[in-house]
Amino acid sequence: MNHRLLPALHAPDDLTTLVENRTVYSLDAFELNIFETHQTAQQVPLSMGNLVLTTMLRGKKVMHLTGQPAFDYLPGESVIVGEQQVMVIDFPEATLNNPTQCLAVAIPSDTIRRTIDLLNEQFPLAEEHAPWHLATSHNAHLTNTPELNGTLERLIHLSQETHAAKDVLAGFTLQELLIRLMQTNARQTIFQNYAQHLTSHRFAHVVQYIKRHFTEQITVEKLSELACMSKATFFRLFKREFGLTPVEYIIQERMAEAKRLLRNPVTTVADVCFRAGFNNTAYFQSIFKKHEGITPGLYKKQCGLG
């Protein structure tokens, strides 16, 4: 999330507690909470009744969820916590100068059900046996996508506004948030664990092919053939399920390889460009800066290898 758009921290004198100080924004469609912790603490329980999307904004927590090993919870990540589920949280590094800050959006179950029913009826996914759904256990610890971050930023902004239409806008934005969450979960399920889904999901074959051939020329025709779909249907359903186009996913894979290669002290930027599957150095420079905010050369230098 853009650091400039993070909610402001409370001054120490304005805190009612140093552990999970809570600010609540109640809207018709959901309740948005911002928690701050300014001192170390262990085994702090928290339950909010409804299904909750939590997103780390600053600092570090250690999360304990029933049936899962404890894990570090860091900025840029989200956790979906099911109804009535208790989170137990450690704050190993929190101080007045280095607080944690976490967003928690409590979403009524009927809102989730209506949104999912609407999507399954009007915008079905590629596999009938795998309809839209919101995971709350397996893969509920997510790395945020830029799209999910953007929606969360709008929710924070809307919650703090005072105009009459904010509840209407917040309702639409919450639906978008649920879609972004499900797309993020789908990316994690198929992009990271495609081998487990080769017999049950046609896009798993597409992902496998892209991961094996992303340094080569890949056509949408070839990918749609692997998915047993027309080009138009494949393009539409891939974007619907994952929130990005097949071409954007190929670029994402090439970018990950480019960053890996740039960390090698003997590679040059031009060498990385072609080895990662880009066939034009000017385009590579441009797309790298768009995604990372810096040039490949500066990335290499910041890694201590320039």
- Report the range of poorest mean pLDDT among 6-15, 148-157, 217-226, 296-305: 296-305
Predicted confidence at residue 6, as pLDDT, reads: 83
* DSSP 3-state of 234: helix
CATH for the stretch 1-194: 2.60.120.280
pLDDT tens per residue across span 88-112: 999 999 999 999 999 999 999 999 9
**Residues 6 or more apart in contact with residue 135 via CB below 8 angstroms:** 80, 185
Paired strand residues for 77: 143
- In this structure, are residues 61 and 89 in contact, taking their beta carbons and an 8 Å threshold? yes
Confidence of residue 83 (pLDDT cuts 50, 70, 90): confident
- In this structure, are residues 1 and 77 in contact, taking their beta carbons and an 8 Å threshold? no
- In this structure, are residues 18 and 81 in contact, taking their beta carbons and an 8 Å threshold? no
- Is 191's pLDDT higher than 70? yes
The DSSP result for 116-159, as a single string, is HHHHHHHS--S-TTS-S---SSTT-EEEPPHHHHHHHHHHHHHH
- Is 137's pLDDT higher than 80? no
- Report the range of poorest mean pLDDT among 21-30, 136-145, 163-172, 194-203: 136-145
CATH for the stretch 198-306: 1.10.10.60
* DSSP 3-state of 41: strand
Q: Delimit the domains of the chain by residue range.
A: 1-194, 198-306
High-pLDDT (> 70) share of the chain, %: 96
Confidence of residue 273 (pLDDT cuts 50, 70, 90): very high
Which two three-digit tokens encode residue 240? Answer: 């619907």
HSE, side-chain direction, 13 A CA sphere, residue 137: 6
- In this structure, are residues 181 and 84 in contact, taking their beta carbons and an 8 Å threshold? no
Confidence of residue 305 (pLDDT cuts 50, 70, 90): low
Mean pLDDT score across all residues of the chain = 92
**157 vs 155: CA distance, rounded Å:** 5
Predicted confidence at residue 4, as pLDDT, reads: 53
Residue keyed to tokens 């990372």? 292
Mark 110-149 as b/e (b = at least 16 C-beta within 10 Å).
ebbeebbeebeeeeebbeeebebebbbeebbbbebbeebb
- Find, among 82, 102, 107, the residue nearest to 27 by Cα: 107
Mark 21-32 as b/e (b = at least 16 C-beta within 10 Å).
beeebebebbbb
Q: What is the pTM of this model?
A: 0.87
- Is 249's pLDDT higher than 60? yes
- Is 138's pLDDT higher than 60? no
pLDDT tens per residue across span 3-20: 556 888 998 889 999 999
- Report the range of poorest mean pLDDT among 18-32, 128-142, 172-186, 249-263: 128-142
Predicted confidence at residue 36, as pLDDT, reads: 96
- Report the range of poorest mean pLDDT among 35-44, 89-98, 133-142: 133-142
pLDDT tens per residue across span 146-171: 899 999 999 999 998 888 899 999 99
**Residues 6 or more apart in contact with residue 132 via CB below 8 angstroms:** 116, 119, 120, 123, 125, 182
- Is 306's pLDDT higher than 70? no
Predicted confidence at residue 301, as pLDDT, reads: 87
**70 vs 56: CA distance, rounded Å:** 16
83: buried, middle or exposed (CB in 10 Å: 19+, 13-18, 0-12)?
A: middle
